[in-house]
Amino acid sequence: MALPPIQRENIFEALKAFDESFRHQPEWQDWERRYEYAINVSGRRYPAKQILSMAANTPPSEFSGGEQTNKSLRDAGFKIVEISNVTEEGKSNDG
């Protein structure tokens, strides 16, 4: 599914909502082990696909992650970083 262009304001609202309602929930404590890409805002990372889902008001299952998500976020002016400690099993590859 193609996503419509997302306004920066909607993404900032999603970032704020993630910090307030999701970041401290148990299911999001280790999100960086399950995601390959993050939005980097002022040195803080956010799960790219989740943020785009929230900003677009579209379930994550309705669009692909990776390039589709990253392009939408880059087009809105956000920096995307690859999370290097992700493995196929979703485990840390730090050691």
pLDDT reported for residue 89: 45
Q: Mind listing the pLDDT tens digit for each residue in 48-85?
A: 999 999 999 999 999 888 898 999 999 999 999 999 75
More confident residue, 89 or 79: 79
pLDDT reported for residue 95: 33
Nearest-angstrom CA–CA distance, 86 and 93:
6
Annotate 18-53 with b (16+ C-beta within 10 A) or e (fewer).
beeebeeeeeeeebbeebbbbbeeeeeebbbbbbbb
* Average of per-residue pLDDT across 30-50: 93
* Average of per-residue pLDDT across 31-50: 93
The two counts, helices (H) then strands (E), for the chain are 3, 3
**What 3-state class would DSSP assign to 11?**
helix
